[in-house]
């Protein structure tokens, strides 16, 4: 009987939890449904189920509405930037965590200052600089900017983790005659793999979604990344809600698929800077 | 620290032990490890920051026309630019409300799951999903939600028989900023929830158990036991949220573009407009706005951490 009362008192909790789940999941499900319906169907009944299911809309969006180009641009930029920032960030973090040298703390402080610099403080000057060196409106320029602006967070996370690897391992490796680079490659990288994976996830999501740098530094339609492409498409085809929804799904799907398989890694990655 | 610095140097005199000391490396090795990161960071982050500060004291026109104007940008900004002040007021209101909603809402959501709501592990993952979506995606979805004719907001009101409250949420000055705020919270609440949940699970079970035995009500438990123990997390999230909100750009840009009539203009959208949309063709003035705003943010963050930081660490 007491258990019954206790459960009853928890009813508001259940109701609220159910409500909030609908609030977060609902809009995403709604877009998923719209992505498989034509605009005419949507305007007839905005909240109906897709019947018939228009799978061909994805092919249309990919080819006719240029989403294929946007998707590949995003992929090139994000993969290149994440690979670069991970490699050079891990090297720097290893160096800062492992070696005692003059200026160690100054270098660390300099790099970690980047954690507090808002993009608005660099964006206008970056626009000028990329114009100066002829990298304005190129994917290469955007990649460089992404690497530079995400080094701080990458080094911050990796250095914290690398510093906890027991020094004995490195002493032993040195005794065995490993060179400095071998120590990095054969000790730090394998043992630090979980942290490296965390930064890869974080940088991948953040850069896949990045908008401000891209909107300032790219102008050509065939160089647009997905967020710019979506913005451009909804701006120029305001009434084609159906096709815009398909575009949204193309942008969201990679993230959702990865999230479905490795939700814990992604949650850990996204909150790595806030959870200590 | 000084002793640590000296030790390896003394060891260096003995060539054998120097080669074996894993804490030391030759200058060449250090440069090889650090140079790539430092070069790209210096070129595309440090230099742009310095250049922005330089720009703030100049008028920068196309074709390399640069003219020193001293503090003129700042005086114009502070004393003659009503749009800037409108943006400051909007951004401040947005920041205050959104930061509080972030922290309080995130904590409440985390407590729901911590109180062993059914399917808590699954819900945790579902509630976090919006955090992974880009602002552009979130913005477009919410523009549709607010659509006058077929958006969910008005459809719900109609369904409830409250048609009188139907409105063009993003189209009128009184509701635009707050409508954007709702979308912003929709995206970010899950983030705060996860951080709080991790902190809650790290709390010592005995303390909560003792409160349970003392028949402590849940509100008292929250205010007197849980909140003080979560202080560090709360302060971290407040600061993080504050910085994010002060710089809010993407969502406003996608949903309203700062309109209507500057009703949702924020400092960041104004910087962008002054730099790339107005026909002033001057990068100096928007740089001055960015510099001023950055200094204000730093100032507030310093004040917040000084006031809120735990003076004596709780032992548990």
Co-location of B120 and B226 in the same domain: yes
Who among A118, A175, A184 is closest to B294 (CB)? A118
For chain A, the average pLDDT equals 91
Select the residue from B41, B43, B60, B230 to test the A interface by mutation, using most A Cβ atoms within 10 A. B41
* Tokens 């660490």 belong to residue: B313
Does the residue B286 lie in any domain? yes
The reported pLDDT for the residue numbered B311 is: 62
Does the residue B72 lie in any domain? no
The reported pLDDT for the residue numbered B310 is: 65
Kindly give the interhelix angle for A11-34 and B135-145, rounded to the nearest 10 degrees: 100
Reported as a single tens digit per residue, the pLDDT across A145-160 is 999 999 999 999 999 9
| Banded model confidence at residue B17, pLDDT cuts 50, 70, 90 | low
The reported pLDDT for the residue numbered B1 is: 41
Reported as a single tens digit per residue, the pLDDT across B108-121 is 999 999 887 788 88
Co-location of B17 and B120 in the same domain: no
In order of A90, B229, B230, B242, B305, the CA distances from B310 in angstroms are: 33, 10, 11, 19, 9
The reported pLDDT for the residue numbered A261 is: 87
| Banded model confidence at residue B15, pLDDT cuts 50, 70, 90 | very low
Co-location of B112 and B211 in the same domain: yes
Is B24–A99 a contact, with Cβ atoms under 8 angstroms apart?
yes
B150 cis-preceded (ω within 30 degrees of 0): no
% of chain A residues with pLDDT over 70? 97
Residue B185 sits in which domain range?
Answer: 81-308
Co-location of B185 and B275 in the same domain: yes
**Are residues B274 and B290 in contact, defined by beta-carbon separation less than 8 angstroms?**
no
| Banded model confidence at residue B281, pLDDT cuts 50, 70, 90 | confident
Does the residue B40 lie in any domain? yes
Q: Is A200 on the interface with B (CB under 8 A)?
A: no
For chain B, the average pLDDT equals 87
| Banded model confidence at residue B215, pLDDT cuts 50, 70, 90 | low
**Are residues B128 and A245 in contact, defined by beta-carbon separation less than 8 angstroms?**
no
Is pLDDT at B6 greater than 60 in this prediction? no
Q: How many CA atoms lie within 13 A of B112 on its CB side?
A: 27
Q: Distance between CA atoms of A119 and A153, rounded to whole angstroms? A: 14
Does the residue B61 lie in any domain? no
Does the residue B316 lie in any domain? no
The CATH number that applies at residue B108 is 1.10.3720.10
Co-location of B143 and B213 in the same domain: yes
Q: Distance between CA atoms of A135 and A195, rounded to whole angstroms? A: 32
Is pLDDT at B3 greater than 50 in this prediction? no
Is A205–B236 a contact, with Cβ atoms under 8 angstroms apart?
no
Burial of B144 (0-12, 13-18, 19+ CB in 10 A): buried
**Are residues A143 and B74 in contact, defined by beta-carbon separation less than 8 angstroms?**
no
Q: Distance between CA atoms of B235 and A8, rounded to whole angstroms? A: 35
Residues B267-287, mean pLDDT to the nearest whole number: 91
Reported as a single tens digit per residue, the pLDDT across A39-76 is 889 888 888 898 888 899 999 899 888 899 999 999 99
Q: Distance between CA atoms of B106 and B100, rounded to whole angstroms? A: 10
| pTM for the whole structure | 0.91
Instruction: Render the burial of A140-161: b for 16+ CB within 10 Å, e for the rest.
Output: ebbbbbbbbbbbbbbbbbbbeb
Reported as a single tens digit per residue, the pLDDT across B224-273 is 888 888 888 999 899 999 999 999 999 999 999 988 989 999 999 999 99
% of chain A residues with pLDDT over 90? 68
Give the single-character DSSP code of B172: S
Q: ipTM of the predicted structure?
A: 0.92
Is A99–B129 a contact, with Cβ atoms under 8 angstroms apart?
no
Q: Is A19 on the interface with B (CB under 8 A)?
A: no
Is pLDDT at B13 greater than 60 in this prediction? no
Burial of B68 (0-12, 13-18, 19+ CB in 10 A): exposed
Q: Is A253 on the interface with B (CB under 8 A)?
A: no
Residues B30-56, mean pLDDT to the nearest whole number: 95
Co-location of B186 and B256 in the same domain: yes
% of chain B residues with pLDDT over 90? 62
| CA nearest neighbour of A142 among A125, A130, A154, A128 | A130
The distance of A91 to chain B (nearest Cα, Å) reads 5
In order of A16, A46, A184, B113, B315, the CA distances from A19 in angstroms are: 5, 21, 50, 14, 37
The span from the first CA to the last CA of chain A, in angstroms, equals: 43
Which one is predicted more confidently, A193 or B10? A193
Q: Is A47 on the interface with B (CB under 8 A)?
A: yes
| CA nearest neighbour of B110 among B214, B205, B230 | B230
Strands (E), A51-160: none
């Amino acid at each position: 009987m007491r258990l019954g009362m206790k459960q009853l008192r928890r009813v508001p909790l259940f109701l609220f939890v159910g409500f909030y789940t609908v609030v977060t999941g609902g809009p995403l499900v709604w877009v998923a449904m719209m992505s498989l319906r034509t605009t005419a169907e949507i305007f007839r009944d905005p909240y109906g189920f897709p019947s018939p299911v228009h799978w061909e809309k994805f092919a249309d969006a990919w080819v006719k509405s240029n989403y294929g180009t946007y998707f590949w641009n995003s992929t090139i930029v994000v993969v290149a930037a994440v690979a670069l920032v991970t490699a050079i960030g891990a090297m720097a973090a290893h160096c800062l965590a492992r070696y005692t040298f003059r200026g160690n703390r100054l270098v660390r402080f300099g790099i970690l200052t980047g954690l507090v610099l808002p993009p608005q403080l660099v964006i206008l000057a970056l626009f000028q600089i990329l114009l100066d060196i002829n990298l304005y409106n190129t994917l290469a320029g955007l990649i460089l900017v992404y690497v530079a602006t995400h080094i701080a967070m990458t080094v911050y996370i990796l250095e914290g983790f690398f510093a906890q690897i027991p020094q004995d391992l490195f002493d032993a490796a040195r005794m065995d005659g490993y060179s400095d680079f071998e120590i990095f490659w054969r000790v730090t990288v394998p043992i630090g793999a979980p942290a490296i994976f965390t930064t890869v996830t974080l940088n991948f999501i953040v850069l896949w979604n990045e908008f401000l740098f891209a909107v300032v530094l790219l102008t050509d339609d065939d160089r647009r990344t997905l967020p710019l492409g979506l913005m451009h498409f909804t701006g120029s085809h305001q009434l084609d809600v159906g096709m815009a929804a398909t575009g949204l799904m193309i942008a969201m799907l990679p993230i959702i698929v990865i999230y479905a398989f490795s939700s814990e890694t992604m949650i850990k990655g996204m909150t790595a800077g806030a959870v200590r | 620290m000084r002793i640590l610095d000296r030790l390896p140097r003394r060891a260096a005199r003995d060539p054998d032990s120097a080669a074996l000391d894993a804490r030391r490396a030759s200058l060449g090795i250090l440069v090889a490890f650090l140079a790539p990161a430092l070069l790209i960071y210096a070129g595309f982050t440090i230099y742009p920051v310095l250049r922005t500060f330089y720009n703030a004291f100049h008028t920068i026109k196309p074709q390399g026309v640069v003219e020193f104007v001293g503090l003129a940008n700042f005086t114009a900004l502070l004393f003659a630019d009503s749009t800037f002040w409108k943006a400051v007021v909007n951004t401040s209101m947005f920041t205050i409300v959104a930061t509080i909603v972030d922290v309080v809402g995130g904590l409440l959501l985390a407590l729901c799951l911590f109180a062993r709501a059914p399917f808590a592990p699954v819900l945790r993952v579902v509630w976090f999903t919006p955090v992974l979506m880009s602002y552009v995606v979130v913005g477009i979805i919410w523009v549709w939600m607010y659509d006058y004719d077929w958006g969910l907001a008005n459809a719900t009101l109609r369904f409830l028989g409250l048609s009188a409250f139907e409105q063009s949420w993003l189209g009128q000055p009184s509701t635009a900023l707050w409508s954007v705020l709702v979308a912003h919270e929709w995206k970010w609440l899950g983030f705060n929830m996860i951080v709080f949940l991790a902190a809650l699970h790290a709390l010592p079970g005995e303390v909560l158990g003792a409160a349970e035995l003392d028949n402590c009500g849940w509100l008292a438990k929250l205010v007197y036991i849980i909140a003080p123990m979560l202080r560090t997390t709360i302060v971290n999230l407040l600061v993080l949220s504050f910085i994010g909100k002060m710089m809010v750009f993407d969502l406003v840009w996608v949903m309203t573009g700062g309109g209507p009539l500057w009703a949702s203009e924020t400092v960041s959208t104004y910087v962008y407009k002054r730099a790339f949309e107005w026909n002033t063709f001057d990068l100096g003035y928007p740089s001055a706005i960015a510099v001023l705003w950055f200094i204000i943010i730093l100032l507030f963050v310093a004040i917040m951490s000084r006031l809120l930081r735990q003076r004596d660490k709780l032992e548990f």
